[in-house]
């Protein structure tokens, strides 16, 4: 028996620009209608993973996955390369998935940053062209916001806060001015491509062995891979075509699965792709009600990631209703929240140069 399946699905409940037509998700509708919401607010993917493994930072574990040869020393932050676009009197942020940063561009930009800011005790490192990290000799005393919480949004209100926030804001402004003047960005703008004109720094801390974690994990996310490596969890080869095979593979204990496809579609404002990903998730989840009723799975925890709280489904909630009058299960498309009405389209990187990985762009 699997004690718990924690299914993390960023983007499951929107926000959607409009309600998709013709989407049928009876399994997901049933599970969500029989679920009990946990107390407290929701959390984004990085917060959910850090909580599950009882660690207080994400950057060193994502770095460990991106660079297996890293020595696990020092204090590190995510320093994700972003495009900041003026929008009225504010700045709107787009992540590296829309920038198509090449390896050569990343190397040149990081070299410029390190030449200028090494005297400040800062070193930028880019083990992957679109995922960068920042080592700080003196860790800043401030609170930061995960990248996922600001992608496609205004950064006002999400900037660092705390005793060192003012100094950090000045450093980030200097970095933005430097990036704007670099040769790679001049070439990108001449070619009509969005500039890599900012860094979004967050999730700082040091590496350590986690105090806890699930027994088995599955899904594509560098942070999950790094945490599983640190905690000694088993990593399943994939999520498979349906949940039944993964439950058999886990054989017992606690299982964590990350399903990322809906999140990428929302960030790209692609309703058709979101609906297709939801339909794929529906097929994958089809065996779960039977597993809960039979006791092969004791508990299902569904985490939409974001503002919505996680929900719990137990086998008893499904067995009690079986064969009795059922109230109408609210369809997934109706549960999803609505998107703001005037979100601009994200910048588009040319297909030939875009090598960013949506599944790992922000952790």
Contacts of 272 (CB under 8 A, 6+ apart): 20
Yes or no: say if 7 and 301 are a contact pair by the CB < 8 Å rule: yes
Residue 288 pLDDT exceeds 80: yes
How confident is residue 339, by pLDDT bands cut at 50, 70 and 90?
low
DSSP 116-131: HHGGGTEEEEEEETTE
Nearest CA-CA partner of 243 in 284, 215, 280: 284
Q: Which domains does the chain have, with CATH numbers?
A: 2-55+212-330 (3.40.720.10), 62-206 (no CATH)
Spatial distance between the Cα atoms of 131 and 117, rounded to a whole number of angstroms = 19
Check whether the bond before 15 is cis (ω within 30° of 0): yes
Query: E strands within 68-112?
Result: 76-87, 90-94
Q: What pLDDT is attached to residue 360? A: 40
Average pLDDT score over the chain = 89
Residues in the chain: 363
Share of the chain above pLDDT 70, in %: 91
CA distances from 342 to 20, 89, 205 (A): 18, 16, 36
What is the dihedral angle through the alpha carbons of 213, 215, 220, 223, rounded to the nearest 10 degrees? 20
How far does Cα 72 stand from its chain's mean position?
Answer: 22
Mean pLDDT within 109-135: 97
Spatial distance between the Cα atoms of 26 and 208, rounded to a whole number of angstroms = 42
Structure tokens at 192: 């009509």
Spatial distance between the Cα atoms of 270 and 278, rounded to a whole number of angstroms = 12
Residue 46 pLDDT exceeds 90: yes
Q: What pLDDT is attached to residue 115? A: 96
Q: What pLDDT is attached to residue 301? A: 96
Yes or no: say if 45 and 109 are a contact pair by the CB < 8 Å rule: no
Three-class DSSP category at 325: coil
What's the pLDDT tens digit per position in 2-32?
Answer: 999 999 999 999 888 888 888 999 999 999 9
Nearest CA-CA partner of 45 in 192, 149, 138, 130: 149
Q: What pLDDT is attached to residue 345? A: 67
Mean pLDDT within 328-346: 74
How confident is residue 312, by pLDDT bands cut at 50, 70 and 90?
very high
Spatial distance between the Cα atoms of 28 and 13, rounded to a whole number of angstroms = 11
Spatial distance between the Cα atoms of 204 and 234, rounded to a whole number of angstroms = 26
What's the pLDDT tens digit per position in 250-271?
Answer: 888 999 999 999 988 888 888 9
How confident is residue 340, by pLDDT bands cut at 50, 70 and 90?
low
pTM for the model stands at: 0.89
Q: What pLDDT is attached to residue 189? A: 95
Structure tokens at 142: 């401030």
Question: Does 41 or 241 have the greater pLDDT score?
Answer: 241
Yes or no: say if 67 and 160 are a contact pair by the CB < 8 Å rule: no
Three-class DSSP category at 227: helix
Q: Which of 49-58, 93-102, 131-140, 328-337 has the lowest mean pLDDT?
A: 328-337
Residue 153 pLDDT exceeds 50: yes
How confident is residue 223, by pLDDT bands cut at 50, 70 and 90?
very high
Mean pLDDT within 147-159: 91
Please compute, for residue 18, the number of CA atoms within 13 A of its CA located in the half-sphere on the CB side: 7
């Amino acid at each position: 028996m699997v004690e718990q399946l924690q299914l993390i699905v960023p983007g499951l409940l929107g926000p959607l620009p409009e309600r998709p037509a013709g989407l049928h998700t009876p399994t997901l509708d049933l599970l969500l209608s029989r679920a009990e919401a946990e107390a407290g607010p929701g959390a984004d993917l990085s917060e959910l993973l850090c909580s599950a493994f009882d660690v207080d930072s994400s950057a060193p574990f994502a770095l460990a996955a991106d660079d297996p040869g890293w020595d696990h020393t020092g204090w590190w932050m995510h320093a994700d390369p972003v495009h900041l676009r003026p929008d009225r009197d504010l700045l709107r942020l787009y992540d590296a998935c829309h920038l198509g940063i090449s390896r050569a561009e990343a190397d040149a930009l990081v070299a410029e940053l390190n030449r200028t800011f090494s005297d400040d005790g800062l070193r930028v490192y880019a083990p992957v062209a679109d995922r960068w990290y920042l080592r700080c000799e003196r860790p800043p005393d401030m609170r930061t916001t995960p990248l996922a919480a600001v992608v496609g949004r205004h950064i006002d209100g999400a900037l660092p806060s705390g005793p060192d926030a003012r100094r950090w804001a000045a450093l980030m402004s200097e970095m933005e001015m430097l990036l704007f003047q670099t040769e790679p960005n001049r070439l990108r703008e001449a070619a009509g491509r969005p500039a890599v004109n900012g860094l979004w720094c967050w999730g700082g801390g040091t590496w350590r062995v986690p105090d806890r974690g699930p027994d088995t994990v599955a899904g594509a996310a560098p942070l999950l891979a790094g945490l599983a490596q640190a905690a000694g969890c088993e990593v399943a080869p994939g999520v498979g075509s349906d949940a039944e095979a993964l439950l058999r593979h886990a054989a017992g204990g606690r299982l964590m699965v990350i399903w990322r496809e809906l999140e990428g579609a929302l960030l790209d404002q692609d309703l058709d792709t979101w609906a297709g990903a939801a339909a794929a998730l529906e097929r994958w989840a089809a065996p779960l009600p039977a597993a809960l009723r039979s006791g092969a799975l004791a508990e299902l925890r569904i985490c939409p990631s974001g503002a919505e709280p996680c929900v719990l489904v137990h086998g008893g909630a499904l067995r009690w209703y079986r064969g009795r009058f059922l109230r109408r299960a609210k369809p997934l498309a109706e549960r999803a929240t609505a998107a703001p009405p005037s979100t601009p389209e994200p910048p588009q990187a040319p297909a030939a140069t875009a090598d960013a990985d949506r599944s790992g762009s922000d952790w």
